[in-house]
């Protein structure tokens, strides 16, 4: 059975439903069916928000079935990959010293969340984190790179489009697609180094914003970097005095 149960567009409304597993205590190193505590249920994503309702038929008559619903304004961050969704709320978690409570869901059958990713981009702003690589709307340039993580990293390719930057990683869970509005700033200390400061939440990074550092395998042309900086700042409404043309890289 496909992970997508229902995806009709009735009367202009969208309704995506998936069979999902909610882990009470997430252990990413284990598959969903081996995690100690959790429930199966239906994850619904539609025009007004996201909800989860426990499937009573797959558990032994739960006394208090788990069910939640979040309107989009109540979601602090939504992170989505091909097989998982994480909803970070504004609700305090008393067991974690007041840290904001997060709800994690995984698909339990074939399929992916890729079909609902584009829909969610239109519902959430900088709170949306796409842990997958989409094709840029209009490719400007690309460059092979290594994403530096801790004492190692993963290799892939950076693709710069007219409205987004994509990092396609060879390692699962490391790809990203950033709309220009998802990026706080970019930086470069040399032609073979490139940094993207995003609005993705990160407890250990500066300002609680996640930073991505790349070691480039080819020289980044200064003209390309300057053009990208202009595009990013123009997307934020910054008035730039220098003349700018869309075909500046041709």
d(CA 180, CA 192): 22
Which of 188, 189, 198 is CA-nearest to residue 167?
198
Tens digits of residue pLDDT in 42-80: 999 999 999 999 987 655 555 556 789 999 999 999 999
- Tell me what percent of the residues of the chain surpass a pLDDT of 90: 61
- The residue length of the chain stands at 250
Record the pTM: 0.80
Is the pLDDT confidence value at 142 over 90? yes
Is the pLDDT confidence value at 109 over 70? yes
Is the pLDDT confidence value at 178 over 70? yes
Q: Of 20-29, 92-101, 223-232, which one has max mean pLDDT?
A: 223-232
Domains, the chain, ordered by start: 4-130 (2.30.29.30), 139-235 (2.30.29.30)
What's the pLDDT at 243? 45
Secondary structure of the chain: what % helix, strand, coil (to 5)? 15, 50, 35
**Secondary structure (3-state) at 180:** helix
Tens digits of residue pLDDT in 28-52: 445 555 545 789 999 999 999 999 9
Which is more confidently placed, 154 or 12?
Answer: 154
What's the pLDDT at 36? 53
Cβ-proximal residues to 110 (8 Å cutoff; 6+ apart), any chain = 1, 2, 3
d(CA 119, CA 9): 12
Pick from 3-7, 8-12, 129-133: least confident: 8-12
Q: Calculate mean pLDDT across residues 130-142.
A: 93
């Amino acid at each position: 059975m496909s992970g997508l149960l229902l995806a009709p567009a009735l009367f202009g409304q969208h309704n995506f439903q998936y069979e999902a597993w909610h882990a009470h205590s997430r252990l990413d190193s284990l598959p969903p069916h081996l995690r100690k505590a959790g429930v199966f249920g239906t994850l619904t994503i539609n025009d007004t928000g996201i909800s989860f309702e426990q499937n009573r038929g797959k558990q032994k008559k739960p006394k208090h079935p788990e069910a939640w619903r979040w309107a989009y304004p109540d979601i602090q961050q939504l992170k989505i990959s091909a097989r998982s969704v994480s909803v970070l709320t504004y609700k305090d978690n008393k067991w974690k010293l007041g840290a904001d409570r997060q709800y994690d869901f995984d698909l339990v059958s074939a399929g992916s969340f890729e079909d609902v990713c584009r829909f969610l981009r239109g519902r959430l702003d900088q709170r949306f984190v796409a842990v997958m690589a989409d094709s840029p709307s209009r490719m400007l340039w690309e460059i092979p790179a290594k994403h530096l993580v801790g004492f190692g990293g993963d290799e892939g390719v950076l693709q710069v489009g007219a409205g987004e930057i994509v990092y396609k990683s060879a390692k699962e869970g490391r790809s990203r697609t950033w709309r220009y509005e998802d990026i706080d700033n970019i930086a470069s200390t040399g032609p073979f180094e490139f940094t993207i400061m995003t609005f993705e939440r990160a407890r250990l990074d500066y300002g609680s914003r996640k930073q991505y550092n790349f070691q480039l395998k080819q020289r980044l042309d200064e003209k390309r970097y300057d053009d990208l900086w202009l595009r990013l700042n123009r997307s934020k409404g910054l008035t730039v005095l220098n003349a700018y043309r869309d075909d500046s890289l041709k």
